Amino acid sequence: MVLGETSGRISRQCWFPLRVTYSRELKVKDTLMSDGIECFVPMTVRTDEKGGVKHGSIVPAVNNLCFARASRQMLDSVLESRGMRSFVSYIWDRATREPSIVPDKAMEDFIRISESRYEDVVYLYEVSSRLRAGQPVRVTKGPFAGVEGVVVRVKRSRRVMVELPGLFAVATGYVPEDDLELVQ
């Protein structure tokens, strides 16, 4: 058993955020997926201009971050056997002194928003207390139907923010008020 871990948490499949050095997040994702571990790296479109011509490329939205869904025992085993321990580490929860775990519903909503490819999806690296105090809602219609979060205003637009506690948050594109319902 790994130090500081209870026996119930070692075999349960969870979403673990992983810190990956030297921008190897896509390599880590591919390696883990080849070993049967579900992974996610949020991607975004970056537009560069060369010689007056714009080129778009799909790149990681958050550098050095990969999410893996597995039991901690399985993830530790794969990281060790593939020799990835030197550049992949858990992001630790300071309160519990164990690896951070992202709840399944938050991760599902985060993936849904990140994969939407809407240009006005916003990644918030520091979530202010003003934003966090928003009204809890569920989107009922449109491309984000079913997503739960809090109402925030970003770039003068009403959005729904899904926070991954201790990491960062992602906010949808504009959501009309009629497409929202309060969550109790």
- In this prediction, residue 127 carries a pLDDT of 65
Amino acid at 5: E
Rg (CA), the chain: 18
Instruction: Count the residues in the chain.
Output: 184
Domain locations in the chain? 7-101, 105-182
- In this prediction, residue 128 carries a pLDDT of 59
pLDDT along the chain (184 residues), means of 10: 44 93 95 96 87 87 94 96 95 91 94 81 70 76 90 84 84 88 85
- In this prediction, residue 77 carries a pLDDT of 95
Listing DSSP states for 90-149 in one string gives EPEETTTTEE--B-HHHHHHHHHHHTT--TT-EEESS--HHHHTSPEEEE-SSTTTT-EE
Question: Would you call 118 exposed, middle or buried from its count of C-beta atoms within 10 A (0-12, 13-18, 19+)?
Answer: middle
- In this prediction, residue 1 carries a pLDDT of 34
Question: 7-101: which CATH architecture?
Answer: 2-Layer Sandwich (3.30)
Chain-centre distance of CA 45, in angstroms?
A: 16
